[in-house]
């Protein structure tokens, strides 16, 4: 039976006196190309939204529709990024935590508690890392949708810049189409050279 995405964590925290609870999640951690994106989102308990669930469990069309409603009706939300260069420099885990930190710092309203998907953030704000949080916490699920749709939009922009690679379709993941493009054209500056499939093909390109 799949986990139930609910507001249980948020309700418990409100009983403890926290009033500005932000869910935080990322998108693009496993990609070979482009930045990792994080989002922070404070839901309004007085304005519940339908369709908020783990972004991986709903269709692209549903994600885009829910993201519009989240941006309109959330108490506050923000996006943070860490570049491919930063990922290569400090590793994907630390770059993800950096993007999450930037998302929280970009919130137009300060959070007093963070619900974070499976990690922690280097901020002096009370927080809890929730394993499978995007499937359990409505706030984290909302952040997952905002992060995923923001990153997909960025990849569609990059697809216009690099049309031969198919980024609008595979969003930078290691699909057969993407790997074939890497074999033919080699990595781009926005590829993650610390990832083995990119590093191997960079060597092939340089040696050919």
Give the pLDDT confidence score for residue 56 in this predicted structure: 87
Q: Taking residues 105-115, what's their average pLDDT?
A: 98
Looking up tokens 């986990």, which residue turns up?
A: 3
**Count of CA atoms in the C-beta half-sphere (13 A) of 47:** 11
CA distance 87 to 66: 29
Give the pLDDT confidence score for residue 61 in this predicted structure: 95
In whole angstroms, what separates CA 88 from the centre of its chain? 17
- Domains of the chain plus CATH, in order, are 8-159 (3.30.420.10), 164-207 (no CATH)
CA distance 100 to 105: 9
Give the pLDDT confidence score for residue 1 in this predicted structure: 58
Higher pLDDT pick, 56 / 189: 189
Give the pLDDT confidence score for residue 194 in this predicted structure: 96
pLDDT digits (tens, 9 = 90+) for 124-156: 999 999 999 999 999 999 999 999 999 999 999
Q: Is it the case that residue 3 has pLDDT exceeding 80?
A: no
Beginning with the edge strand found earlier in the chain, give each strand of the sheet holding 113-117 in spatial order.
76-82, 36-42, 21-27, 113-117, 127-130
Give the pLDDT confidence score for residue 2 in this predicted structure: 61
Give the pLDDT confidence score for residue 204 in this predicted structure: 61
Instruction: Give the chain's mean pLDDT.
Output: 94
Give the pLDDT confidence score for residue 206 in this predicted structure: 40
Contacts of 189 (CB under 8 A, 6+ apart): 84
Burial of 24 (0-12, 13-18, 19+ CB in 10 A): buried
Percent of the chain whose pLDDT exceeds 70: 97
Q: Is it the case that residue 11 has pLDDT exceeding 90?
A: yes
Q: Taking residues 35-47, what's their average pLDDT?
A: 96
pLDDT digits (tens, 9 = 90+) for 51-101: 898 888 899 999 999 999 999 999 999 999 999 999 999 999 999 999 999
Helix axis angle, 138-161 to 8-15, nearest 10°: 120
Q: How confident is the model at residue 121 (pLDDT cuts 50, 70, 90)?
A: very high
């Amino acid at each position: 039976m799949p986990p139930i995405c609910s507001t249980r964590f948020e309700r418990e925290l409100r009983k403890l006196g926290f009033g500005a609870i932000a869910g935080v999640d990322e998108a693009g951690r496993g990609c070979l190309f482009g930045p990792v994106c994080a989002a922070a989102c404070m839901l309004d308990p007085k304005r519940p939204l339908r369709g908020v669930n783990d972004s991986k469990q709903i269709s692209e069309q549903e994600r885009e529709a829910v993201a519009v409603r989240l941006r309109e009706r959330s108490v506050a939300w923000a996006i943070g990024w860490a570049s491919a260069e930063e990922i290569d420099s400090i590793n994907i885990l630390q770059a993800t935590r950096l993007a999450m930190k930037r998302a929280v710092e970009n919130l137009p309203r300060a959070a007093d508690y963070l619900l974070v998907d499976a990690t922690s953030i280097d901020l002096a704000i009370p927080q809890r890392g929730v394993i499978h949080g995007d499937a359990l916490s409505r706030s984290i699920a909302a952040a997952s949708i905002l992060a995923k749709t923001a990153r997909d939009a960025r990849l569609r922009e990059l697809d216009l810049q690099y049309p031969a690679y198919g980024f609008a379709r595979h969003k930078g993941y290691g699909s057969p189409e993407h790997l074939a493009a890497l074999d033919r054209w080699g990595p781009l500056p926005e590829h993650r050279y610390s990832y083995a499939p990119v590093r191997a093909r960079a060597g092939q390109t340089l040696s050919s």
